[in-house]
Amino acid sequence: MTDWGARAAALLGELAEFSGPGPGVTRLPFTPEHRAALDLLSALMQRAGLMVTLDDAGTLVGRLEGEPGRGTLMMGSHQDSVREGGAYDGILGVVLPILALEKLRAEGVAVPVSVEVLAFADEEGVRFPTALVGSRALAGTVDPAVLNMEDAGGTSLRNAMTGFGLSPDRIGALKRNRQDVIGFIETHIEQGPVLERETEALGVVSAICGIERHRIALTGEMGHAGTLPMEGRRDALVGAAAIITEVNRIANATPDLRATVGALAIEPNVVNAVPRAARLTAEFRSSHDETRRTAGDHLHAFARQVADDIGLGLDCERTYQQPVQPCSPDLLKRLVNAVKQAGGKGLVLPSGATHDASAMADLCPVAMLFVRCRDGVSHKPEEYAAPKDLGRAVEALAAVLESMTWA
34 is in an annotated binding site: no
318 is in an annotated binding site: no
Distance CA(319)–CA(299), nearest Å, equals: 13
300 is in an annotated binding site: no
- The DSSP code for 352 is S
389 is in an annotated binding site: no
Identify the sign of the CA torsion 388, 4, 108, 183.
Answer: positive
What separation in angstroms does the CA of 77 have from each of 16, 52, 54, 344, 360?
A: 16, 16, 15, 23, 11
What separation in angstroms does the CA of 296 have from each of 148, 246, 282?
A: 29, 12, 9
Question: Comparing C-alpha atoms, which of 383, 394, 362 is closest to residue 138?
Answer: 362
Question: Comparing C-alpha atoms, which of 135, 130, 164, 123 is closest to residue 147?
Answer: 130
What is the CA 358 to chain-centroid distance, rounded?
9
Helix (H, G, I), strand (E, B) or coil at 274: strand
Phi/psi-derived region of residue 22, left when phi > 0, alpha when psi is between -120 and 50, beta in every other case = left
Q: Quickly count: other Cβ atoms within 10 Å of residue 148's Cβ.
A: 10
Residues across the chain: 407
Radius of gyration, alpha carbons of the chain: 23
224 is in an annotated binding site: no
Helix (H, G, I), strand (E, B) or coil at 118: strand
- Give the Cα-Cα-Cα angle 19, 24, 30 (nearest 5 degrees): 30
188 is in an annotated binding site: yes
What backbone phi and psi angles, to 5 degrees, belong to 114? -75, 150
Question: 1, exposed or middle or buried, with CB in 10 Å at 0-12, 13-18, 19+?
Answer: exposed
213 is in an annotated binding site: yes
What separation in angstroms does the CA of 63 have from each of 54, 74, 119, 206?
A: 11, 9, 12, 27
Distance CA(301)–CA(208), nearest Å, equals: 27
Distance CA(25)–CA(14), nearest Å, equals: 11
Dmax (CA) of the chain: 82
89 is in an annotated binding site: yes
The β-bridge relationship of strands 72-78 and 181-189 is parallel
Helix (H, G, I), strand (E, B) or coil at 151: coil
Task: Give the annotated binding-site residues for allantoate.
Answer: 213, 272, 285
Task: Give the annotated binding-site residues.
Answer: 78, 89, 124, 188, 213, 272, 285, 379
Task: Give the annotated binding-site residues for Zn(2+).
Answer: 78, 89, 124, 188, 379
